Amino acid sequence: MIKVALIGCGAMGLMHLHCYKALSKNVQVVAVADTDSKKTEEALKICNNNVTVYNDAMTMLDKESLDIVDICLPTFLHTKFAVAAMEKGFNVFLEKPVCLTNDEADLLLETQNKTGVKVQVGHVVRFFKAYKWLKETADLGKYGKIKSAEFKRLSAYPAWSPMLMDYRRSGSVALDMHIHDADFIRYLLGEPDDVQVAVTRDNEGVIQHIFSTYKFDDTIVTAQGGWDFPQGFPFTAEFLVNFDKATVVLKDNMLTVYPDDAEPYSPELISEWGVNVDIGANVSYTGDYYDEIKFFIEEVIINNKPDIVSLADAISSTRLVWKEIEIAGGVKK
């Protein structure tokens, strides 16, 4: 049985707990930590009161014997606790974005190299069914080369999360939300040769919407990520990818393929397990989070297979977004 402890029982932490519960054949959550007792109470409910609760995560790391530490803390705290967990010899599941600074990224990589533990980062979009289908189809070359693509990720202003609204703790919409597409684009096409960036900012000069254009040889890809929309605006994640021999569109959660020489069709995208849970955020479906956590536990930890989102790879995506922010003139002007 793989023993897991979770640090940070906010929105993402609760999401992960639901997934561990569904994976209870191989996994047992033995401890949770959060400085907010209301949050640990919610965690206890999901775990049927069957975990040890800590309000100090460092004490938990000292006392517990663990296989995995799952870190769902606000981004500015990721490095401190990931380094402490690695130093104890525990494998780490670390939520995205990895961290806020280059020094932190270097320290994380150094610590992983020194300790040899496994670290997967929560770039869950790589596990989303439509994006996974797109990556597999592109790799197979079924419709030829990608000529151009656009990705979009838009949300109501994250008034539900003081952490997200504070760019010093989250890194802003660019690092917190747009990174999902930046990371997926790197996964799909590799490192871009060139990036151009435009942003809109709020009255305080903080980036609220980023528009990036990536160039790969003769392929052009755009991605926009914004969260300055009204509270009633529905969360929107879409793409349009133009291959040599087909166009593929994700819109309103529906994936449609328009081949050059056949009728349009929608690939069947099946989830192994998925329910909607209320975690107090703009995501509720467990399916893709279940898949990424199951992959880490069963393939990476138990079967010793290479990871789909290694720490080094996720740091490269983080560095790409830092570069975009720098091109735009900084997170805050």
Residues lying near ligand NAD in the complex (CB under 6 A) are found at 7-13, 33-36, 39, 57, 72-75, 77, 95-96, 122, 124, 161, 163, 176, 281, 283
Q: Which residues on adjacent β-strands are paired with residue 322?
A: none
Q: What minimum distance in Å lies between the beta carbon of 69 and ligand NAD?
A: 12
Nearest CA among 248, 111, 125, 240 for reference residue 177: 125
Cβ-closest residue to ligand NAD? 10
Beta carbon nearer to ligand NAD, 56 or 106: 56
Q: Would you say 118 or 153 has its CB closer to ligand NAD?
A: 153
> Quick one: 85 or 163, whose CB is closer to ligand NAD?
163
Start-to-end C-alpha separation, the chain = 50
Q: Output the six-digit token pair for 25.
A: 């054949």
Nearer to ligand NAD, 169 or 323 (CB): 169
Closer CB to ligand NAD, 9 or 311, in the complex: 9
Give the CA count within 13 Å in the CB-facing half-sphere of 141: 0
Is the CB of 84 or the CB of 257 nearer to ligand NAD?
Answer: 84
Shortest reach from residue 90's CB to ligand NAD, in Å: 16
Nearest-approach distance from CB 39 to ligand NAD, in angstroms: 4
| Element at 246 (helix H, strand E) | strand 246-251
Shortest distance (Å) from residue 31 CB to ligand NAD: 12
Could you give the strand order of the β-sheet that contains 2-7, starting from the edge strand earlier in sequence? 52-54, 27-33, 2-7, 68-71, 91-94, 119-121
Contact criterion met (CB below 8 Å) for 20 and 293: yes
Residue 16: CB atoms within 10 Å: 29
**In angstroms, what is the minimal distance from the CB of 189 to ligand NAD?**
21
Cβ atoms of residues 287 and 23 within 8 Å: no
| Shortest reach from residue 222's CB to ligand NAD, in Å | 21
CB of 117 to ligand NAD, least distance (A): 20
Which of 33/325 has CB closer to ligand NAD? 33
Backbone phi, then psi, for 276, in 5-degree steps? -95, 130
- Distances in Å between the Cα of 255 and the Cα atoms of 139, 145, 274, 287 are 18, 19, 18, 17
DSSP, collapsed to helix, strand or coil, labels residue 25 as: coil
